[in-house]
Amino acid sequence: MKNLLREKIMNGEKTVGTFFEAGNASVAEALALTDLDYMLIDTEHGPFDVESVMLMLRGVELHGTTALVRVKDSNRNSILKMLDIGAGGLIIPQVHSLEEIKKIVEYGKYFPVGQRGVAFARGAGYGYLEHAKGDINDYFATCNRETLLIPQCETKGCLENIEEIAKVDGIDGIFVGPYDLSVAMGIPTQFDKPEFKAALERILKAVKDAGKFTIIYCADFNVANTRLKQGFDSVTVGQDVNFYIDAINEMVHSIEK
């Protein structure tokens, strides 16, 4: 059980992913054939849930791309089930407080870090995968290390408590949602405002000081290049459906009719 995205980030590599919104296992498999480091299956805004995500994960795993899942909320079932079916990590949206963060760790990490419910489900090969066969404490340690818990910093509460949140044992990194964060700050999409730039710098410093990594959503590759130079470890660029639409339109418009 090795999380290739985690390994790349720990090795100091910059990584690139995209949101997966199409919601079809065959499309997920095709996306895994690209050079992306990861895809982020979106169940917060996407219409799909646990059973369909499980099929997507099977398609992705055929080709070694890491599949993260953005869960719909921070409730126990939302966290537990996506980990049980084999998600490489979770992005948790709309967290507001340190208390919520501690609950996320309680639900998503095994003993002694948290209190994740024990079950040898699909993610453990129903108990037949190598990492699930031995001592239970070794199994817990492997899962705690390789499955990532990544809250989104997109609320005023999360921003105001980012130093404490980043330090929590069991939190592996922070995902910045710039659009919702700017709305929470009262300056929707005004990313050039000094206060928004200061917020990003605060997040970067807090997370780096805690020894964790940062991911940020970017609308396009130009923004992505800027954010990587700024110090973010990873960029999640756009969403798959927009790339499909843009590529087809480019093909249509390049043909001389």
Q: Return d(Cα 236, Cα 64) in angstroms, integer.
A: 18
User: Known catalytic residue: 96?
Assistant: no
Tokens 């939302």 locate to: 78
Q: Which of 45, 63, 131, 253 is the catalytic position?
A: 45
Pairing of strands 148-153, 213-218: unpaired
Is 172:213 a contact under the CB 8 Å cutoff? yes
Collapsed DSSP state (helix, strand, coil) of residue 8: helix
- The full DSSP string for 37-75 is SEEEEETTTSS--HHHHHHHHHHHHTTT-EEEEE-SSSS
- Which ranges of the chain does DSSP label H, i.e. alpha helix? 4-10, 25-32, 50-61, 76-84, 98-108, 136-146, 156-160, 162-167, 178-184, 194-209, 221-230, 240-254
DSSP state of 109: S
In the three-class reduction of DSSP (H, G, I as helix; E, B as strand; rest coil), residue 128 is classed as: coil
Please tell me the total number of residues recorded for the chain in this structure. 257
| Active-site amino acid positions | 45
